Structure 1
Amino acid sequence: MNSTATPSEKLKEKPKAVVIYSGGMDSYTVLHLALKQGYEVHAVSFNYGQRHSKELDVAVKACADLGISHKLVDITAINQLLQGSSLTSADIDIPTGEYEEDNMKSTVVPNRNMILLSLAIGYAVSIGSTDVFYGAHSGDHDIYPDCRPEFVDAMNVVSAIANYDDVQIISPFLHQSKLAILEAGLSMGLDYAQTWTCYLGQEKACGKCGSCVERLEAFAKAGLTDPVPYVSL
């Protein structure tokens, strides 16, 4: 049997998109947004030696439940090059309290998003995709240099230069807040119990680290209770 697709069948094929998926609330929303927009989603998660793997376990389960392509890529060897962050160095305490620059600066992993986006762009080229999604938002701008609009713009320029095939980075919430991400997800009927945001990999979220605080504030502003279980609130 000839399996070659006809021209009309090719027109019906979904465009492919690579989604960098951490298992967290932001990338979970972006993942579903790409699905809603009609993409054939290829999710990719990276184990770069972060302090716990719970977020990755959540990502694996969510993609399995959705029945979508998912690659969990082990790049833990680079951890030895990315020390000095509380997310990769066990001897640095995870900060608690507000999600603000002075408090959260220790969570910056050197050059992380440039590395992960470069890998995701290479993956996109290899599967014939022109779009890479990732979940930076406006609340990250002051803390993480590689979540700022000028970084995304520059990476798009570099991506166009570095490959024969043009691959663009899409950050749907780059100029929007955590609350806007939550509201977008709720409008799609998402269950945020299927995500993990806490910087600690315990059975329950700590409710005290900056990431938990930011998430809880978004739910509070929306007048909702976060469905994820917490140690204490």
Structure 2
Amino acid sequence: MKIVVLVSGGMDSTILTHFTKVNYPEAEVVLLHYDYGHPFEFKERQSLPKGTVIRKFEWLNPNEPYLVSESDEAHLPGRDFAMIAQAMIQENPDRIFLGLLYGEMNSYLDQSYEFYYRLNHLLSIVSPTGKRVEVEAPLEAIGFDKLKAAKWAIDNGMTVEELKDSSSCMHHEHKKCGKCHVCIKRWAVFSAIGLKDFDETNPMNCYEIVEQLSMDYSAIRFEGTERAQNDVVCRGVESYFGCDEPERVLELLKERANDLSLEGLVDV
């Protein structure tokens, strides 16, 4: 059996790579990364697992606005569809794995159960050898969110260094900015499992981030207005303060924001 794992260098696909090797030891595993020109590509390349095959989206028209950027996050509409189609044609695998986590389905049009169902049927029609190619998100299928996935990885042979070497930051200048929403989730996961990953870029040293965390924590714990997967941020904050009483944690967040404001620390 041949499995293609689409990797980005981020935490999720790094864990997925380990998951695939642990659970499919007899399979031929191809790690495949597509460079589609976003601002933080250089950081992803530095964090890719050893042996990853790197290919570019050479067919993109540089004169057309394919890359959509919001708050330093570049997104190529139809990105997953494009990568999956190329992987199928170039590698002719039996299965293609993506690093989606529990609660992340339906984030984009090409990250949904309906899309996967229809795509699996389409790929079986256009497969070079006529065999059925299965597109799957194994971590999502077994209910792994970011925290559960990280705990599983550490408990099943992944080293702390391997996990820390992944790069999930969406800032074009820094390896780990501590400000973007992915960095904050990464910090929350590491905090919850007792790992220290952020030093100068600790988001708890940034007034604006702590202020936002206070609002988000209140919305999640007291109003229930946020999506379930964002609970990992709450758990990270609670681990940071060593307290799981929501009222007290919110007080501590506000005290932290006040201290940073008084110290003039309004940036990381």
Q: Into which bin does the TM-score normalised by the smaller protein fall?
A: 0.7 to 0.9
Alignment partner of 1:215 is 2:193: no
Taking a change above 3 Å as real, the CA distance of residues 209 and 44 of structure 1, as seen in their structure-2 partners, is: same
Q: Residue 184 of structure 1: which of 152, 176, 189 is its match?
A: 152
Q: Which residue of 1 aligns with 2:53?
A: 71
Question: Following the alignment from structure 1 to structure 2, what is the Cα–Cα distance between the partners of residues 142 and 226?
Answer: 32
Q: Deviations over 1:188-219 (max 9, x none)?
A: 23221221000124343011111112222222
Q: Structure 1 residue 182: deviation in Å?
A: 1.1
Change (3 A) 1:197 1:84: same
1:58 match? 47
Aligned to 1:25: 11
What is the RMSD of the two structures over their aligned residues, measured on CA atoms?
A: 2.3
| Cα distance in 1 for residues equivalent to 2:56 and 2:67 | 20
Secondary structure, counterpart of 1:146 in structure 2: coil
Cα distance between partner residues in 1 of 2:153 and 2:85: 27
What corresponds to 1:114 in structure 2?
81
Q: TM-score, normalised by structure 2?
A: 0.64
CA distance in 1, matches of 2:88, 2:36: 17
Question: 2:66 is matched with which residue: 83, 106, 123?
Answer: 83
1:119-151 C-alpha deviation (Å, 9 max, x unpaired): 1111331xxx31111111234235333222222
What is the number of residues matched between the two proteins?
192
Comparing 141-150 with 173-182, greater Cα deviation is found at: 141-150
Which residue is 1:41 aligned to?
A: 29
Q: Highest CA radius of gyration, 1 or 2? A: 2
Compared CA separation, residues 156 and 206, structure 1 to 2 (3 A): same
Deviations 1:75-133 (A, max 9, x none): 155263453521xxxxx5327xxxxxxxxxxx5431110001111111331xxx31111
Q: Secondary structure at the match of 1:137?
A: coil
Distance 1:84 1:50, change over 3 A: closer
Q: Aligned pair in 2 of structure 1 residues 173, 57: CA closer, same or farther (>3 Å)?
A: same
Q: Summarize the Cα distance change of 1:219–1:144 in structure 2 as closer, same or farther, 3 Å threshold.
A: farther
For 2:120, the equivalent position in structure 1 comes to 156
Counterpart CA distance in 2 for 1:216 and 1:79 is 36
Deviates more, 1:175-184 or 1:115-124: 175-184
Letter in 2 for 1:168: E
Aligned residue identity for 2:202: S
Q: Give the whole-Å Cα distance in 2 for the aligned partners of 1:18 and 1:82.
A: 29
Distance 2:102 2:111 in 1: 8
Q: Distance in 1 between matches of 2:164 and 2:190?
A: 12
Q: Distance in 2 between matches of 1:57 and 1:217?
A: 23
Secondary structure at the aligned position of 1:44 is classed as strand
TM-score by length of 1: 0.73
